[in-house]
Structure formats: structure tokens, C-alpha cells
Structure 1
Amino acid sequence: MNRFSFKRNNVKVFLFFLVATSILWLFIQFSKNYTRTLEADIVYINIPDDKAIDPTSDAKLLVTLGGNGFRLIAHSWTTPELVFDYKESAKKRSNEYVFALDKKGDFIKRKLEFKGNVIDLQKDTVFLKLHTIFDKKVPVRPNVSLKYAAGYGSSEGLEIQPDSIMLSGIKQVLDSINYVVTTSLTVDGLKSNWEEEVPIKMDSLQEVVNVVPRIINASVSVSKFTEGSQNVPIILENVPENEEVKIFPKEVKIVYRVGLDKYDDISERDFKVIADYREASENNAFLFLKLIKSPEKIHDVRLQEKQIQFVIVNKE
């Protein structure tokens, strides 16, 4: 038993000296002087609300620091930040500003809260360029595909709110943007009213300072659909004054799909079908029909007859 206790005490003594010598070794190593080059992120503050930072402005700065390990280790775990206050800048041109860095590195040491030495700086001046921010209102194009269940549809179709958004940015960027699109969305088997929030696609808006709003509301009113039809008179146009032309038939049947709630709202007066006599050919006794007016609330509109016959009755 005493022999076992003696061995256990030896292990404790060994571990104690191992830990102590390791700590002493680390202390000696960290007491030595080192140099380390860091890439610091540049952050600008107090930029006026009506200004945007140009991408060509300095965003990084290489700094070589010298000091013992205790002083350098604090900057080894994270990327250091150098904060520059716009109010402390010197104006170079109308939209260009500079921050002078002293050779002694006192400014950098103060910004980094570093008590060692600044051995070297990548440059002695930090450059900032600003642009005036403008606003532009642009329409939204929804990238939404709606597929209805059999026998269903929508008289009004997809509606979005708002239908336009406000962009803020530099003039050169805004001039190149005429509209924005939403992210892609497909909805299948619609049988009832649908509504969902859809984000604006931001991929092409990286250089825009602000986008308001970034989400729109998309909706559609869905109803049961049925087939409707109307017999519509055909209007013959562009007949010369010295000619009399008769057509056969004089009306055409139009077939369409319409919501049950809108079925009784549709009449023949909502349609206009014409045949243009100027398109007549001596070798052809037919004229093609054109549907030039129909209600927006109907779908899948088609003429049962695509052409009609004509006869010249009297020609002087």
C-alpha cells in the first residue's frame, strides 16, 4: 500500500513540474519580440445620409506590427478593424477625401489599441470616394407561375402590391436599372384564392444602397371556370365607295373560358371582330377574321371560324 502511494506521489510531482515548465516555456516565448503583418478591414463612419461609398475606396490596409507575443496575440484571432471618421477627413476634390497616416504609426496604434510598434504601413494615405445618392422608382415584374386545377381559373389574374419599389444609389447604377424582378415561385393546382409574400431578387442589385420594400405581396382570386360563347357580328372594313361587298356568314361564334361569377357579365358588345377588305386577293374568295376587342376577364378566347367568304355585288 505504501509502495502504491509513493508511486502516486511521484506522478503528481512529475505532472506539477511538467505543467510548470510548460508555463515557463510559454512565458519565455511570449516575452520574445516578433513582427506580424496583418490585413485590417477599413470601416468608415459618419458618412452623410445622402452619400454612398464608391467601390474604389480603400477597404483594406496591410499593417506590420512589432512587439512581444503578449501584445500580438490579441490581434491573431480576429481580423482587426480600422475605423475612420468621415468628419476627420481632408477633402481632396469635390467627392474625394483622404486620411493621412503618420509614419510613427501613432494613429494606427490608437485605432488598434496596440502598445507595440508599427513597423510598416502599406500606404501613408487612406483614400475615400463618395457619390451623391439618388432615388428612383421602378416597376416590379413578378416571376410567379400559377397553374390552376382543372375547371378553375382567375378573371383578374395575378396582382401584386406594391407594383413598384424605390431604389437608392449612385446615378450611374440607377440609370442602368429599368425594372426589378422577384424570386422565382411556382404554385400548382390552385382551387382557391391564394396570397403570399415574394422577395425581390437582389442578385442584380448589389450596388444599390437601399431597396424599399424588399418583399411584395402577390395574390390571385380563384373561381370555378366554365365555357361561354357569343355570336358576334363581323365588321367589314376598308371597302371602296364604288363597290358593294357581301360576306358569308355575317357573324362568328366566339368561345371562351370565364369564371362562374363573371359569366353573366359578358355580352356580344364586349367583342369586336373585323375582316379587312384590303387584304382581299383576286385568286382567293376568302377574308381572314381578326378579333381586335375582348374583355380582360375571359381566357382562352378563340374564333370558331378563322375566315369568311365574300362576294362583290356591284362594281362600276
Structure 2
Amino acid sequence: MKIFSLFLLCSFLAWFISNLSETYESRAYFTLNYRNLPDSLLLGKNSNGEIEAKLRTSGFQFLYYKIFKSRMDIDVSQAELFNGEYVLSEDALKKQIDQQLSQNISLLELDRSQLVVDMYQVDTKKIPISAKLDLQLQQNYILDGKVKITPDSVEVKGPKSEIDTIRAINTSLIQLTNVNDDFSNEVTLVFPKGLDNSIFSIGRATVSGKVSKFSEKVFEVPVQVINIPEGYQIKTFPNQVTILCKATIERLKEISASDFEIVADYSQLKGSESSSLFLEVTESPQKVYDVRLEENTVNFVLEQQ
């Protein structure tokens, strides 16, 4: 029985292989992979994902197609606009598929006379990224400069009606506490809902910032009076005031009293009999955390020249 079974199995295999080597006509299914989309178009969700083709080839090849579903690349740049739809003609479709089949496979027919590709016109827009940051610094530490976002914008492609309403793209929330050093965090972007037909160029961004220790320094700055009546001069008491500047230690070493300008505008009195003038800081150095006057007013005496 064992010998008989062995011969029976061998006979069946020989018959099976002999039949598979024969040429047949049958149908096979291919998954469609759309490529070469023009920059002004996007592929919609209603595009056909599969096509059926009648082929003439060996049984081995049909067995392969039954086990493994093959993919066909479809070049949609050859599609033509017809009655508001992008269409690949039967000849163009057959030519593309035939070029991807092996030489021993003949394409006889397709299950459709044309392929309608669901594509739609899109606009492109650059949208700034906004960092959603909850930053708590240690005492005597400041954020040295602005928070940096890399990249600072995201490119979106989609229907004009969808993307026109977008003003900014937020990052996911970053919570940092007790910070006393520079930070850099990669985070995901949070895209608005209802943008099913839009595509964004990136999905993540890096939010970073420079943190420095700050100190305070006092400067004595002279008071300048403007809009003095013609033929008069003004003396202020005091003639210079104290200004408190907060900045990094390195920055404070570079700052002097001449970097500040404090102005009192005589025209603010508007004919009143007040003997004091309000002060305003009109010039201050860049890259400082805070500038504060110790006195907001000065007394004055108006003297005729």
C-alpha cells in the first residue's frame, strides 16, 4: 500500500504539473496603484482600487495570481478631462498594463472600456505653526529670545473651500516646569477636523528655546524734556532718574546708561498748573527682560530765558 500510494502521489503530481504547464485563458485581478499625480490634483477616496483582466498564459502564472494579488501602476498624468471627470481610455489603460506583464502573458480584455480616476483640483497654502507651550521657569531664569519652531510652517494641499479657513496649526501641549536650562521637544501637530481631502506635508515639529539666568542692574539716566514753550527753559528735579533693567548677566555687561532715553513731554500739561511731568522710556536696549522706572514723575521749574 505504501508503494502504491507513493506511485499514486507521483502520478498526481506529474499530471498536475503537466496541466499547469498548459496555456489557458482566464481572469485575474490586479490592485491599482495610482502614481504621477500632477501637483494641482489630489486622488479622491472614490477611485477604483482593483481591475479585472482576461489573460492568456500558463497555469503556473494563473496559480500565482490566485495566491498573490499583483499590483498594477497606473500613470494618471495620461488621464484626460472629459465632462468633469478624469478618464483613462481603454487603449491607454491596456498599454500601461500590457507593459507591466511578462512576455509570456497576453492581455485579451479588461472589465471596463475606460477607467475613471477620482481626482480633484487643489490649492497649496503655507500655514504657520503655533506652539502650545506651558512653560514655568525657575526663579531668576528667563526665556532668552522667542520660542523657536522648526519648521515654522506646514504646507497643505486641498480644496480651496477647506484650506482657506485655516489660520494656524497648533502643536500638541508641551508642559515644562522648574526649567533652568535650554529645552528642545519634538511634538505632534494637531490638525483641525473636517479636512478629509487635505494633505499636510509634515506631522511633527520641534519646539525649542534658550533659557538664561538673569540679574538686575540700576542705571542713572538724565531726563530730557520736549515741547518746551519758545523762550523758556525747564529744570527738572531730579534731573536724572533711576531705571532698573533686568537681563542676562552677559547682556548687562554690555549695557550702559546711554542706551536708555527718558523723556518728559511738556505738552502733556495742556495748560494745567501742575508742577510735575510724567516720564516715559522712549529708548531701551534690545534683548532685555524688563525695564522699569523707579520714579514715574519729576517736578519742574519753568524759567524764562
Q: Normalising TM by the smaller chain, what interval?
A: 0.5 to 0.7
Write the letter of the residue equivalent to 1:131: Q
Name which of 118, 121, 137 aligns with 2:126. Answer: 137
Deviations 1:140-184 (A, max 9, x none): 322213211112223324223333333333344444334333222
Cα distance, 1:192 vs structure 2: 1.7
Please say if residues 148 and 190 of structure 1, whose CA atoms lie closer than 8 Å, have aligned partners that are also in contact: yes
Taking the aligned partners of 1:242 and 1:158, their CA distance within structure 2 comes to: 51
Residue 227, structure 1, aligned to residue 216, structure 2 = yes
- Shift of the 219–58 alpha-carbon distance from structure 1 to 2, 3 Å rule, reads closer
- 1:263 partnered with 2:270: no
Percent identity between the two aligned chains: 26
- Which deviations, in whole Å up to 9, do the C-alpha atoms of 1:17-65 show, x marking residues without a partner? xxxxxxxxxxxxxxxxxxxxxxxxxx9945724244598x8689xxxxx
- Check the 8 A contact 1:232/1:271 in 2, yes or no: yes
The within-5 A match list for 1:103-182 is 128=118, 130-134=120-124, 136-182=125-171
265 and 207 in structure 1: CA distance in 2 versus 1, 3 angstrom threshold: farther
Question: Structure 1 residues 165-174 or 265-274, which shifts more?
Answer: 165-174
RMSD of the TM alignment (CA)?
Answer: 3.6
The partner residue of 2:269 within 280, 288, 299 is 280
For residue 240 of structure 1, the aligned residue among 229, 235, 247 is 229
Partner of 2:181: 192
Distance 1:303 1:207, change over 3 A: farther
CA contact under 8 A between 1:223 and 1:261: conserved in structure 2? no
Structure 1 residues 151, 229: closer, same or farther in 2, change over 3 A?
same
2:260 and 2:268 map into 1 onto residues whose CA distance is 22
* Residue identity matched to 1:304: E
Q: 1:206 to 1:227 in 2, by over 3 A?
A: same
Q: Which residue of 2 aligns with 1:296?
A: 286
**Contact 1:233–1:250 (CA under 8 A) maintained in structure 2:** yes
| Residue type of the alignment partner of 2:247 | V
In 2, the alpha carbon distance for the partners of 1:44 and 1:285 equals 84
Gaps of 5+ in 1: 1-42, 61-84, 100-125
The one-character-per-residue Cα deviations of 1:206-254 (angstroms, maximum 9, x if unpaired) are 3573333332222222232222221222222222333322222222211
In the alignment, what sits opposite 1:312? 302
Distance, in Å, in 2 between the alignment partners of 1:262 and 1:199 is 35
How many residues were matched structurally?
224
Q: How far does the alpha carbon of each residue in 1:48-107 deviate from its partner, in whole angstroms, 9 at most, with x for none?
A: 24244598x8689xxxxxxxxxxxxxxxxxxxxxxxx795987444x54589xxxxxxxx
Structure 2 counterpart of 1:216, one-letter code: A
